[in-house]
Amino acid sequence: MSVKSWTGETLAKGPEKCAEKFGEEAVGDHRGGQRRPGGADGAEAADVLYHLLVMLASRTCRLRTVLAELGAARGRGRGIAEKAGR
């Protein structure tokens, strides 16, 4: 008997579908947060984070790579100055 999982089924649909689902969750969380007093809740944020991780896995990008990039960006002072330079 094979075990099915939501993650496995989502990954089997390919990177584009994984990215699409992440986008849907992120937009849904944003919209839901606008409607609720106090903003988005932990369950909605967890859904967004889960789908981000699935999307990264579909593109063989590790979370540690993303975290390293965030750390490097912090050290480079990216943000306001970078955006102003665009």
Min mean pLDDT across 7-11, 36-40, 66-70, 77-81 is at 36-40
Q: Is the pLDDT of residue 29 over 80?
A: no
Q: Is the pLDDT of residue 36 over 70?
A: no
Instruction: Give the model confidence (pLDDT) of 9-25 as tens digits.
Output: 999 999 999 999 999 98
Tell me how crowded residue 20 is: count the other CB atoms within 10 A of its CB.
14
Q: Is the pLDDT of residue 2 over 60?
A: no
pLDDT of residue 65: 95
Q: Are 34 and 26 in contact (CB under 8 A)?
A: no
Q: What percent of the chain has pLDDT over 90?
A: 45
